[in-house]
Structure 1
Amino acid sequence: SGGSTTHTVRAGETLSGIATAYPGVTWQQIAQANRIPAPYTIRPGQRLTIPAQRSAPASREPFPGASFFRVGTDSPIITRMGRRLVEEGCSHYRVGPGPRWSDADRRSYSAWQRKLGFTGADADGIPGRTSWDRLRVPRG
């Protein structure tokens, strides 16, 4: 962590491309910090404030994408996610958590989404980037 830094935009750069150079910071955070409205246009020479990283990014599992979380997925990422859900008081596990994506994982994740204030289809138990990043799943 620490304070913010400044990035000078070079020709051809995009907010998402710039964000990849600053682990732990999303392009949306850069846009918000610099009050850049949609369609998020930046220009060469523009100086952007890069917000401070939220956590030690190397120690966190990056969001693997919603399609990762489906029947048949078997990964230690699922186990580590489940352990974090248990720590957050969102467990619907009878046994486990384990590496295979299950209905207990989905119900537990839905409880986490509701704890964050999501409702309806936004609390369906399928991880999204915002809820995943807030869960802070450790890397293996």
Structure 2
Amino acid sequence: MEKTAEFYVVKRGDTLGEIAARHRVTLEQILAWNPEIEDPDVIFPDQRIRVAPPRTHGTYEPFPGADFFQSSVTSPIIEAMGYRLIEEGCSEYAAGPDSQWSEADRKSYARWQRKLGFQGHDADGTPGRKSWDKLRVPAVYA
């Protein structure tokens, strides 16, 4: 099987070992690329797992796709995005960002989108590729 994606969405019954084998990587690599996984025996359906090394050609996180930004998602990418929004003067955080997507993230991102001149649906707080690329979220995976 050729690796075609950087991420895999967990399905019911999956194990990290099986996912690693399917993508021709080791369990240790999966754990290194997904530091938010504290227990390799505990994964959940619909969890998004990095199954390929991060791109090394840039210093910024690539756009993870609009579906990534849901309350069920916890990732250091979200926290890094939050700190960038604060740096850009677009904070709606009461206590600072964390790694789980929240309403404060959405409101802060909507401020960023409006700062860029987006309006209506394009400024709803869900990141899109254009606004994400302009935010330049630092790469969080080494």
Matching residue's letter, 1:137: V
Equivalent-residue separation in structure 1 for 2:57 and 2:125 (angstroms): 24
Q: TM-score, structure 2 length as denominator?
A: 0.58
Q: Where in structure 2 are there 5+ consecutive unaligned residues?
A: 1-55
Secondary structure in structure 2 of the residue aligned to 1:137: coil
Equivalent-residue separation in structure 1 for 2:130 and 2:90 (angstroms): 17
Q: Counterparts of 1:41-56 in structure 2 under 5 Å?
A: none
Equivalent-residue separation in structure 2 for 1:92 and 1:125 (angstroms): 11
Q: TM-score, structure 1 length as denominator?
A: 0.59
Q: Which of structure 1's runs of 4+ aligned residues deviate more than 2 A? A: none
Equivalent-residue separation in structure 1 for 2:60 and 2:136 (angstroms): 6
Q: Where in structure 1 are there 5+ consecutive unaligned residues?
A: 1-55
Q: Does 1:91 align with 2:91?
A: yes
Q: Counterparts of 1:26-45 in structure 2 under 5 Å?
A: none
Equivalent-residue separation in structure 2 for 1:68 and 1:126 (angstroms): 10
Q: Percent of aligned positions with the same letter in both sequences?
A: 62
Deviation at 1:57, TM superposition (A): 5.0
Deviation at 1:72, TM superposition (A): 1.2
CA-atom RMSD in angstroms? 1.2
Distance 1:119 1:71, change over 3 A: same
